[in-house]
């Protein structure tokens, strides 16, 4: 991305989403908040009952909830949790016998998510600061790893996917809700700062994304849904929910 190294890109991503955590009503070149969450299918009857602090900073790619299919006692990682909207739903799905952990690169987002979980009484969650390619958990820890629109922002997608594979238990599954492309972008779009934060500049072509998953070891890779991407408005962009197993 515009001649920056991996650490520099991470710093920019951290800074951008920390600003969203502190000021979700500022002007961004990507959608933020409850209106967008409703647009991508989160249930209004639930969102209307939640604290505004939980919905106002939503920045996901889409709604992965129908596809994650959690069981009551599973141990789950929400990778790139943001302000905690998906985390809230996951914590309900696994019940009191389950546990949901969450990681985000932004300390401001982590603090917001912690506060939101306290407000909603979610006692079966734990939230940590961390990066997608250096997940702060041991090997073979999770039944499920879920994410919502983080890989297009990752400067080293292979390293990030390898770390998801590492922390999954044998037979565990991942569900990536991710912006992918129908065809490759121009070089100019790849290097455009604005397109990166719209989750376009760093996105992969769909086939390249699934090939990379296979390369790092995932099995039974399935694109379980695809839809028009409401986040970017780019004609090449779609949002895919992709499931695979270790």
Report yes or no on 1 lying in a domain: no
Give the residue from 157, 147, 153, 140 showing the smallest Cα distance to 209: 157
Report yes or no on 219 lying in a domain: yes
Q: What is the pLDDT of residues 43-84, one digit of tens each?
A: 999 999 999 999 999 999 999 999 999 999 999 999 999 999
Report yes or no on 207 lying in a domain: yes
Q: What's the structural domain count of the chain?
A: 1
Report yes or no on 132 lying in a domain: yes
DSSP label at residue 136: S
Q: What is the pLDDT of residues 126-167, one digit of tens each?
A: 999 999 999 999 999 999 999 999 998 888 999 999 999 999
Q: Write the DSSP assignment of 92-130 as a string of letters.
A: HHHTTTSEEEEEES-HHHHHHHHHHHHHTT--SEEEEE-
* CATH number for the domain that contains residue 77: 3.40.50.150
Report yes or no on 114 lying in a domain: yes
Structural domain of residue 84, as residue ranges? 6-245
């Amino acid at each position: 991305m515009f001649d920056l190294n991996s650490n520099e890109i991470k710093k920019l991503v951290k800074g951008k989403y920390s600003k969203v955590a502190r000021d979700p009503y500022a002007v961004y070149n990507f959608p933020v908040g409850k209106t967008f969450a409703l647009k991508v299918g989160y249930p209004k009857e639930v969102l209307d009952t939640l604290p505004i602090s939980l919905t106002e900073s939503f920045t996901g790619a889409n709604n992965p909830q129908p596809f994650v299919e959690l069981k009551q006692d599973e141990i789950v990682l929400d990778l790139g949790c943001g302000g905690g909207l998906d985390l809230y739903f996951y914590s309900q799905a696994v019940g009191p016998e389950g546990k949901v952990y969450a990681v985000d690169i932004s300390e401001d987002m982590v603090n917001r998510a912690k506060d939101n979980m306290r407000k909603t009484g979610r006692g079966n969650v734990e939230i940590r600061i961390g990066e997608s390619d250096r997940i702060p958990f041991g090997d073979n820890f999770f039944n499920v790893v879920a994410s919502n629109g983080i890989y297009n922002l990752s400067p080293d997608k292979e390293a990030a996917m390898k770390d998801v594979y590492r922390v999954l238990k044998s037979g565990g599954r991942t569900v990536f809700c991710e912006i992918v492309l129908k065809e490759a972008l121009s070089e100019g779009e790849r290097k455009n700062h604005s397109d990166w934060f719209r989750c376009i500049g760093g996105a992969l072509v769909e086939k390249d994304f699934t090939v990379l998953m296979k390369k790092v070891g995932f099995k039974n890779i399935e694109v379980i849904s695809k839809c028009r991407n409401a986040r970017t408005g780019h004609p090449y962009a779609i949002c895919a929910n992709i499931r695979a197993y270790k």
